Structure 1
């Protein structure tokens, strides 16, 4: 899961209730407001239910964008191949007034193609009770096909007014943290990784074989391959994606393991650093690599084997 964005120093402990609010179809920009002050909006994106299938396999790879006015304030991670995704992601947003609704748009991620629209909804912020957690059910609609059933998105939101002398402090801190959030949470591109195969992996079991699988880690993102039973030359052919974040580079770690039922899995080996995706001088790359595994400082290619990995070009996120 992506890093949650929280303003712990400024968020009051909320009273929890379970009032539900339905969606609204239009902007509430003309609603008269008695006190258009500054507000803090805490959003928890819970899950989606019965979302629309946009891929040929009868599924989708959904993610959610949140906007106020024309400004994107939050974007969720992608949940692959799931029409009932669970996100449980948090964001904390500073807003100047309640005249604009919270606009939610759901997309199906398509690598290398334009992402497919899966529906949208509005949340009228003037309907929220202040200082209380509110469960919200949003019915997704397509303006071009209003009769289509596109599923629902479930949120929890807390709206807190920020007044008086604390307002200026909150604004200064929030703007700084909002910039940190933008740089650390909004991804600037995607790298596609394919685990192709293993060659001459070390035998870890008494039968002279292994049951290998591979773990990948880039920052907080992780991927675990399927287990290939009883082989030293597994053929995975598995593809997955990692996000690339602004000002968040780092090394991708690759480790190979032998699955052992009923006891701790055996460590086969790890690779040397493969690439540094945060480097600004290398925005696009295509590498077909064989990474050699090593263990306890031993880097002999014949000792622990190697992995075939394909790293495909980075793409920019949709606007």
Structure 2
């Protein structure tokens, strides 16, 4: 084996490290963000892989972390022995309460409540520009429906679901079976880390245990969003260069602090760490009717070396 990399999995969230030349003490020194819902999932699965010059990959060792057992708001330094091989993985894991990510039905839309909307707007007002510089704002996306989708199945129908991606955050709808005009009516809330980010919404056809089929995609720069206006977006191909088939209806609200957003513009952009895998969970909503509170934590994972 000439190269090594690490894969991390928490629920449906997957990340992959950069690949390093194999040595006795490789040091990745990378950071990954996961969203941990304490009533949904709690085990971080970690795998160390090796790759030879012929690109053949072999799993060298594994370990697990029970996230629920870790204390909040502190850097937890862990030295994790690897199963199936000698050595250990040194990691720093920090759990930080986060109110930025949620999935809900339209009837419990967070910004639909005037009191809650006022509280959120107050959090990002100019008077709070110097508080929590990483908390720039929130994006709320209502995924309403799609129309005239491509028929991906032999029956002349599709089993569509939507995947939403913003930076390293990835959320998805449930699947609506045998329908070319699905109505999801779901609300997704994302934390804003870079006001220059682009929201990507991709429609897939669920295909059992096989990778889902592509049904179309749209890319929406955050700065182009007009608050509270329902919009119809023509679905495009994977390269976003040509129209594909069908359209999707979205309604978006963006609330952010312009001072914090400007300062973040001059800092390095967050690396895209999410592994580009199409083996997605398509069974049910991630969180049905759930509003983020103490149980929603931002898992910050750093790892350094395998002695």
Interval containing the TM-score (normalised by the shorter chain): 0.3 to 0.5
Q: Which has the higher contact order (CA 8 A, sep 6+)?
A: 2
Instruction: Return the TM-score normalized by structure 2.
Output: 0.42
Instruction: Return the TM-score normalized by structure 1.
Output: 0.41
Quick check: which has more Rg, 1 or 2? Answer: 1
